[in-house]
Amino acid sequence: MPFGNTPSVDTSNSPNARLKPVPIEAVQLEDRFWAPKIQQMRETTLPTQHRILEETGRIDNFRRAAGKIENDFQGLYFNDSDVYKWLEGCAYSLAYQGGGEVERLADSVIAEIAQAQCGDGYLNTYYMFDREDQRWTNLRDMHELYCAGHLFSAAAAHHRATGKRSLLDVALRFADCIDNLFGEGKKEGVPGHEQIEMGLIEIYRETGEARYLKLAQFFLDKRGQNLIGGGEYHQDHKPVRELDSVVGHAVRALYLNAGAVDLYMEMGEEALMEAMTRIWTNMTERRMYVTGGVGARRAGEAFGGDYELPNEIAYSETCGAIANALWNWRMLLATGEARYADVAELATYNGALSGISLDGRHYFYVNPLASRGGHRRQRWFGCACCPTNIIRLIGQVPGMIYSTSENAVWTHLYAASSAKANVAGAEVSIQQRTDYPWDGAAEMELSLDKPARFALNLRMPGWLRSAKIEVNGETAEASAPGSYASIERDWKSGDIVRLALPMPIEQITAHPYVEAAAGKTALKRGPLVYCMEDEQAPAAGVIADGQMTHAYDKELLDGVGAIHFEGVAGETEGWENSLYRRRADMSEEKSALRAIPYYAWANRVEAPMRVWLHLR
């Protein structure tokens, strides 16, 4: 096996990262939630996306740049980034399971990319030939640095996954080209769409070349100096360290934050982390959907003001929830604080996962929390950022389950799996048996090459009310929800840890200022947000103190848990000629209603959907 060490974010040598990921290839999923998705990604999604990248001219753009074909540049000026993001997804898939069609496709695409690169290292297929003289002339709008950043991220992941330098060498040549041009005393500028910060830091981590880290810092430091117009949309209204709220284009804002945390993990500058904490507080207390989705406004694909979280017109772009997961994953690596794992989990299982259909071939760009019906995922988009982004996230999931720190193994996401980690000089294998997220019971059986003393830090999710932990049948102390229960002891092979993380169905209520949700209830169980999806959904109400049960239904939506509850059907009919009616004139028959996981909506009938349900 030529494969190396492939964490999605490689903090193994980052001096200010509290946690080191247990890499993707060290984990094998055996669950019925993620394992089929990872397999589907390999077998269906990645090959299908490759076909579309070909059909839409995205790969031809590289062939054209290489002089191999003659035609016009096809599509949007940032289409190169889709190819890079697809390759990053391939890298995670290959880290999980090498070889096969994915490896073959990836190698072929990398070959096309390599041939398109200019002699000086420059690589952007839009700016070839007659557009050469426009290179680097519009950093705000033209996504040149953004595309480069995705190349760097993909290249680092690909090298880690396969040991092959084919994409990494291309990336480093382009990074050197950019580094020659930009920097203190050289050309000044910042990207209008952030991403290169993360990308540069990953190739720094992969190569140890400090100039890439320095360049990432340069691009962060120069924000807020009006180099690209000073707008909130581009997070250029203030220096990064002075930010106190999430504003502007949601994906840009959170990619910036993710890059800032990466920089913090390398440099340790507390002012950066303080800014990130302020922003995080603003976002989670004022500007995030109950699904972990972000970016309420369609206009500018942007964060709204405080408590501006409409349901039906929610933008909540798939990429926004992905960016939220990526940022929070880095906040978790930096700090080991469970609150970040809570948000990463929430965004991953709900707001992001809703972006891809159960068949792995259709995508949502926008993820509303209410629909009058008719919302369908699409095969592709003109601006196709979301399809290639969701595979980056799903591909990283195996690497987000465990991590280590000095003398500790940490669990973050729970999933039936077997994994290996090195801690306290021992190699520890963990066999995890659980039906998470459908059930909160989990059992971990440890095997060690030799007995060792370390802490097993078990995440107590924030959605918990209370947990129970047993080690070898004896009660161990659980900690509060939203923390890690740390069990430090001498571990040996055959030790068994049992967790009970009860998942009652929770009725969630929203801050009174959230106009479209306040006074309503959202059903949540464990990490999953549920929704009603049927003709009754718009008018239905939850009987506040009614019975609610949860049951897994293997026939429903490829197998999901469903919440069955007592409700009031309400009247969706008979409204045609009225906007307002007397409540007394409406029938409110008691009815047995059902909610399904939000991520799985719009995979059956084209029915109305509601996350926030009326209370009765």
Please list the active-site residues: 301, 385
- In angstroms, the CA 597 to CA 419 distance is 28
- In angstroms, the CA 272 to CA 284 distance is 18
Task: For residue 514, state whether it binds a second copy (rule: CB under 8 A).
Answer: yes
- DSSP, collapsed to helix, strand or coil, labels residue 388 as helix
Task: For residue 285, state whether it binds a second copy (rule: CB under 8 A).
Answer: yes
Contact segment (CB under 8 A) with a second copy among 2-10, 60-68, 137-145, 282-290 equals: 282-290
Q: How many CB atoms lie within 10 A of CB 472?
A: 12
Task: For residue 370, state whether it binds a second copy (rule: CB under 8 A).
Answer: yes
Contact 326, 254 (CB under 8 A): yes
- DSSP, collapsed to helix, strand or coil, labels residue 200 as helix
**Of 474 and 573, which has the nearer Cβ to a second copy?**
573
**Of 23 and 292, which has the nearer Cβ to a second copy?**
292
Dihedral sign (CA 125, 130, 134, 140): negative
Dihedral sign (CA 598, 320, 197, 220): negative
Task: For residue 615, state whether it binds a second copy (rule: CB under 8 A).
Answer: yes
Dihedral sign (CA 228, 229, 234, 237): positive
- In angstroms, the CA 157 to CA 3 distance is 11
Q: Least distance to a second copy from the beta carbon of 442, Å?
A: 23
Task: For residue 328, state whether it binds a second copy (rule: CB under 8 A).
Answer: no
Task: For residue 519, state whether it binds a second copy (rule: CB under 8 A).
Answer: yes
Contact segment (CB under 8 A) with a second copy among 127-135, 270-278, 570-578, 597-605 equals: 570-578
- Tell which one of 210, 383, 544, 551 touches a second copy (CB under 8 A): 544
Task: For residue 290, state whether it binds a second copy (rule: CB under 8 A).
Answer: yes
- Tell which one of 6, 40, 284, 432 touches a second copy (CB under 8 A): 284
Task: For residue 507, state whether it binds a second copy (rule: CB under 8 A).
Answer: yes
- DSSP, collapsed to helix, strand or coil, labels residue 260 as helix
- Tell which one of 51, 581, 590, 604 touches a second copy (CB under 8 A): 581
- In angstroms, the CA 443 to CA 151 distance is 40
Residues in binding contact with a second copy, number by CB under 8 A: 48
CA distances from 510 to 62, 227, 306, 421 (A): 48, 39, 13, 40
Provide the pairing of β-strand 370-371 with 609-610.
antiparallel
**Of 161 and 338, which has the nearer Cβ to a second copy?**
338
Task: For residue 578, state whether it binds a second copy (rule: CB under 8 A).
Answer: yes
Q: Least distance to a second copy from the beta carbon of 79, Å?
A: 32
- Tell which one of 522, 548, 596, 607 touches a second copy (CB under 8 A): 522
At residue 191, what is the residue type? P
Q: Least distance to a second copy from the beta carbon of 564, Å?
A: 18
Which residues contribute to the site for a second copy (CB under 8 A)? 284-286, 288, 290, 307, 310-312, 370, 372, 506-516, 518-522, 538-539, 541, 544, 570, 572, 575-584, 586, 613-616
